[in-house]
Structure 1
Amino acid sequence: MARGGDVNQELSELLNELWRSDVNRLKPGTDYTINLQGRAGYVARGSNYARDKARESLFSYVNEDKLKSIETYAHFISLLDNYETSTGVSEIVTSEEMRENHLFLDAILETDVMKCAHKYLVSKGQSPSDPMQFKRQLYDIWFRLYHRERGGGEDSCGFEHVFVGETKYGREVMGLHNWVQFYLQEKHDHIDYKGYKARANKDTPDEDDHVLNLQFSWKGLVKPVGGSFIGVSPEFELAVFTIIFLVSTEKMTSVVVKVDEYMLELVVYRHGRAIGTSFPKLISSNNKDL
C-alpha cells in the first residue's frame, strides 16, 4: 500500500460503509458536548511545557449512562484500568483481565461494523472466514504482549498503546488516541487539555467534528499533538486500523481517505505481527483545507 498521496478510493468506500454501520457512534451536542477553546501552540521536542490555550476541559458533557448502556463501550471501559502505563515495566495479565479482553472482542464481533470489516478482509485473503479464528487474529494484533523497550519484559500491546496510552522513561506520552479514555482521564483530573491543533486560526475545527488533532498533558507530560476520533465506537476504530494493518506489510503505512465529511490520513505502525501504534490525522473537514 502506498504511503500518503492521493485518496485511496477503495478504502474510502469501505470506511464509509463502516461509518454508516456505526450505530453506536454518539451524537455531538446530544450525547456529548466538547469545548474546543483556543488553538494550541508549538511545543519543542522533548519539552514538557505547553501554553494552556484551554482553561476548561475538552468534554463539557458526556452521557455516561448511555455510554455504559452500550455493550461494546461497557466492555471497552472495563479494559482501561488493566495496564501499567510505564514502558519497561512488564505487564501481568490476570485471568479476569483475559476474560475481559475476550468479552470485549465477543461484543464487537457481533456488530455490523466488525462483520463488514471481517467480510472485506476475508475477500482480500487477509483473515480466516471462521469467526473464532478471526477473533484469535484480532487478539494477537491488539492484545498479545510484546517488548516495546529493549531489555525489558513484555511491557506493551497495541490496545494499551493506542487506546489507553503509555509513558516512555517518564519523559513523553505515547499513544492515547481514544476519546473515551481521554474523557475519563479528564474527568479524574489526569489530563489537561491544552487546545486543538490546526495550521492557522482560520482553520478552527467545529465542535461537531468527529476527528480532531489535540494537544494535552497527561501524568505531567505533554503530548504536542495527537489525532483522535471523537464519539465513534470502539468497534469502528478497531475495524479501521485492523484493516489498514492487515492489507499492508509496510513497517509504517499512511493512507489518505475521505470518510463522511473528513479528509483523513490514517497511520499504522507495525510491531512485528501486532499493532505498534495507529491514529488518524485530520487533513480537512467540511470542505475546509487545513
Structure 2
Amino acid sequence: MGWGCVFVLLALFTLSDAASSTVNQDLTNIFEELWKLDVNRLKAGTDYKISLQGKAGYVAPGSTSAVDHASSPLFSQVDETKLSSITTYAHFMKLLDNYERSTGVAERVTADEVTENNAFLDAILDTSVMKRAHRYLVDKGKSRSNLRQFKNQLHNMWFRLYHRDRNGGEDSSGFEHVFVGETKFGREIMGLHNWVQLYLQEKEKLLDYKGYKAKNKDLPDEDDHVLNVQFSWHGLVKPVASAFIGVSPEFEMAIFTILFLTSTEKTTTAVVNLDQYQLEMVVHRHGRSIGTAYPKLLSSNNRHL
C-alpha cells in the first residue's frame, strides 16, 4: 500500500457523519449474530485493562516522531494465562513471528509454519463463530458447503503470498498485513489492526502508544471494544490505526471474510451497527486475496451492555 493509499485511508477517517446514515442491515444482522457467538471475546476490566490517557494530535504520513500524549502503555493488564488457554488465541499467537516485517523481502514459509497455519485454520473452523459465517456464505452462494474447500478458500484469502512491493518477491499476505503489520521502504507502517499483536509488541517495547484518536463529542472509554489509536513502531508512526479490542481472532477473520466474499469491488466499505457501535467496515482486495481490512469507528452510544 503506497502513499496514495495512505491518503485514501486518511480521507476515510475524515468522512462526515452523513456517511453513517446508510446502514447495511444484512451485514449488521450477521455481524450481530457473530458478536453474540463470540464466547472467546475477552472482558474489559476483567481479562484486560486499557489506559486511554490523552488524545493524540495530527501526524503527517511518513513521520518518524509524534508528541506522546500517553506516558503509560495502552494495555495496563492482560490475563495472559487465559489468553494462552483459549485454543484459537494460542494458535494465533504462534503465527505472529512467521513474517519478515519489511516489504520487498520475500517471505519464506517453512514446513513448521505451514503446520501452524493449518492448525490455526482448523481451530477457528471449529468455533461457533466461523461455523455460522460459513453457513451464511454458503447460503449466499459465496462458499461451498464442503469444509475442506472452505478452509482452502480461507487459506487463499488470508495466507497466500503475493507481491506488495514490485521490487521484491512474494513479500506479503492478507494475514500478515492485517494481523501482524509490516513496513514499507522504512517510512510507512502498514496494517497492524489486531489488539493481541498491539499488546505483545507493546510488551516487548517495540510499540509505543501515543494516545487515542476521536472526535470531542464521542470520546472513548476503557470498556470500548473498538478504538482509533496512534502509535510508533520500529521508528515509524502510524497516524491513525483502528482495531477491535478484546475480540477473538475467529471473530475478526469471520467478519472480514464475509465482507470480502460478498463483494467484488476493489475497495469495499459497509456501515454496520454492532453492539453499541456504528462502524464503517473496510476491506481492500489484492487480486483474490485480502490486501487490508479494518473497522473504522464512526460513533459509540457509550452504553456497555
Question: Is the TM value for this pair above 0.5?
Answer: yes
Specify whether residues 53 and 119 from structure 1 end up closer, same or farther in structure 2 by C-alpha distance, changes over 3 A only: same
* Pairing 1:242-257 to 2, within 5 Å after superposition: 242-257=257-272
Q: Is contact 1:87–1:149 with CA below 8 Å preserved after alignment?
A: yes
Q: What's the offset of the Cα at 1:47?
A: 1.9
Residue of structure 1 in register with 2:153 after alignment: 137
Q: Does 1:93 align with 2:104?
A: no
How far apart, in 1, do the equivalents of 2:20 and 2:288 lie? 22
Q: What's the offset of the Cα at 1:5?
A: 5.6
* Pairing 1:4-19 to 2, within 5 Å after superposition: 6-19=22-35
Residue of structure 2 in register with 1:161 after alignment: 177
Give the CA RMSD over aligned residues: 1.2
Residue of structure 2 in register with 1:20 after alignment: 36
For residues 220-244 of structure 1, the C-alpha deviation after alignment (integer angstroms, 9 at most, x for no partner) is 1000001100000000000000000
* Pairing 1:141-290 to 2, within 5 Å after superposition: 141-200=157-216, 202-286=217-301
Structure 1's unaligned 5+ residue stretches are: none
Specify whether residues 112 and 74 from structure 1 end up closer, same or farther in structure 2 by C-alpha distance, changes over 3 A only: same
Residue identity opposite 1:123 in structure 2 = D
For residues 229-286 of structure 1, the C-alpha deviation after alignment (integer angstroms, 9 at most, x for no partner) is 0000000000000000000000001100000101000000000000000000111112
Question: When the two structures are superposed, what TM-score results if normalisation uses the length of structure 1?
Answer: 0.96
Q: Is contact 2:20–2:278 with CA below 8 Å preserved after alignment?
A: no
How far apart, in 2, do the equivalents of 1:18 and 1:85 lie? 31
Residue identity opposite 2:195 in structure 1 = W
Q: What's the offset of the Cα at 1:287?
A: 5.7
Residue identity opposite 2:218 in structure 1 = D
* Pairing 1:15-94 to 2, within 5 Å after superposition: 15-94=31-110
Q: Is contact 1:262–1:286 with CA below 8 Å preserved after alignment?
A: yes
Moved over 2 A (4+): none
SS at the partner of 1:268? strand
SS at the partner of 1:263? strand
How far apart, in 1, do the equivalents of 2:85 and 2:167 lie? 42
Residue identity opposite 2:301 in structure 1 = N
Identity, % of aligned positions: 68
Residue identity opposite 2:299 in structure 1 = S
SS at the partner of 1:128? coil
Number of residue pairs the alignment of both structures matches: 285
Residue identity opposite 1:36 in structure 2 = L
How far apart, in 2, do the equivalents of 1:182 and 1:19 lie? 21
How far apart, in 2, do the equivalents of 1:251 and 1:50 lie? 32
How far apart, in 1, do the equivalents of 2:163 and 2:28 lie? 33
Question: When the two structures are superposed, what TM-score results if normalisation uses the length of structure 2?
Answer: 0.92
Q: What's the offset of the Cα at 1:83?
A: 0.2
Q: Is contact 1:4–1:254 with CA below 8 Å preserved after alignment?
A: no
Residue identity opposite 1:95 in structure 2 = A
How far apart, in 1, do the equivalents of 2:28 and 2:181 lie? 27
Residue identity opposite 1:280 in structure 2 = P
